[in-house]
Amino acid sequence: MKIAFVYDAIYPWVKGGAEKRIYELGKRLAAGGNEVHVFGVKWWDGNAVIKMDGMVLHGVCGRREMYINGRRSIIGPMIFSIKLPFHLIREKFDVIDVCAFPYFSCFSVKLISLIKKSPVIITWLEVWGDYWYEYLGIAGFFGKQIEQLVSKMAGRSIAISDMTKNGLLSLGVDVKKITIMSGGVDIKEIMNIQPSHEKYDMLFAGRLIKEKNVDVLLKTVDKVRKSMPSVRCHIIGEGPEKEQLDALAAQLQLREHVSFSGFLDYHEVISRIKSSRVLVVPSGREGFGIVVIEAFACAVPVITVKTERNAASELVDGTGFAVNLDPGELSEAILTLIKDPGMHEKMSVFALNKAQMYDWDKIVKQLSDLYEDVLYEEKRKLAK
């Protein structure tokens, strides 16, 4: 098959669950004999079209700041969507798999699909619904309408979690047209990575944006140190909240307890997760949470929060705790795990076993089968 993935952010220049997902699936599809193209922003220097891990990467437009005033930029995705058709139309693809967010590119892909007769699959990381009003205020009305419109564009949709599937159902998408396909991990690769020589009691890894609630994590560390004066927390990531978080750490006098690093090489991230006793995911909003499964594969329990938009909380079942977004509850859960070696060991074993369900090779087989089904349906339509 000749497959196109469309998403403005491309791994490893942009590090996140969605970017990592496309990269892992794409390179495995390519290794299986498929021709895989990825269309995104040109994050790299040099030629606009390059090859990486068997895939062809297309730089559609120049890079811009992804976040402005703590929110995903609108201008960047709009420019990307305007230029995208001129790149996609040059070739005929059997399937075009486009990430729903940030929406504008879905309209461009739909246009090309009508011209080239290529079926479109839209992959949904999240469905926001009324959350648009919380995110944008009254302007959220337009975001909600665009999301509703995009949900009608594809013959088939991929939801990366049950929570996302339910969101699509609330938009009126036919349940028969939704396939749940989560993120995953490379179990063998992770098992071969050695733990870091630096040891941490807790670790966070992700983009430093408001929704990740890293400020709550810092307040949690402040509470934990009252019972564990030597507690160490490591925070991996970059983002618009970095300066405020650094200032809060100083205000709470946590310099000896909290260390920050920017985005790291994947192996280094895994190495540091392995050297940690607990992964903390205080996000109020997660479409899935690949880092949770990565922690499971490292035999590290996870503590996350219970919110209506945090799909990561659905993953934690006997492998950690899901508590309210509150420094007191988070600190209590962390201390419970750390101070009870028997419980920690039991949850570590459960976590490692659960990770086996999310191996990338299993997920790519599921994706290939979906693509084949879509192609078969398309051929039947054309034959009529």
- Residue 333, Cβ neighbours under 10 Å: how many? 22
Ranges of residues in the chain with a pLDDT under 70 are: 384
Q: Under a CB-based contact definition with an 8 Å cutoff, are residues 42 and 48 in contact?
A: yes
- Residue 80, Cβ neighbours under 10 Å: how many? 25
Contacts (Cβ under 8 Å, ≥6 apart) of 202: 221, 224, 231, 232, 233, 234, 276, 277, 278, 279, 280, 303, 334
Distance CA 197, CA 67 (A): 34
Token readout for 156 is 């088939």
Distance CA 299, CA 293 (A): 10
State the pLDDT at residue 378: 78
State the pLDDT at residue 384: 64
Q: 199-253, pLDDT tens digit by residue?
A: 999 999 999 999 999 999 999 999 999 999 999 999 999 999 999 999 999 999 9
Q: Is the dihedral of CA 374, 164, 81, 265 positive or negative?
A: negative
Contacts (Cβ under 8 Å, ≥6 apart) of 136: 71, 142, 143
State the pLDDT at residue 69: 76
State the pLDDT at residue 295: 97
Dump the DSSP string for 101-134: TTSHHHHHHHHHHHHHT--EEEEES---TTHHHH
Q: 150-198, pLDDT tens digit by residue?
A: 999 988 999 999 999 999 999 999 999 999 999 999 999 999 999 999 9
Q: Under a CB-based contact definition with an 8 Å cutoff, are residues 242 and 214 in contact?
A: no
State the pLDDT at residue 67: 82
Domains of the chain with bracketed CATH: 2-184+359-383 (3.40.50.2000), 187-357 (3.40.50.2000)
DSSP letter at 195 equals P
Distance CA 234, CA 272 (A): 9
Contacts (Cβ under 8 Å, ≥6 apart) of 174: none
- As to burial, measured by CB atoms within 10 angstroms (0-12 exposed, 13-18 middle, 19+ buried), residue 379 is exposed
Q: Is the dihedral of CA 166, 168, 171, 173 positive or negative?
A: negative
State the pLDDT at residue 258: 97
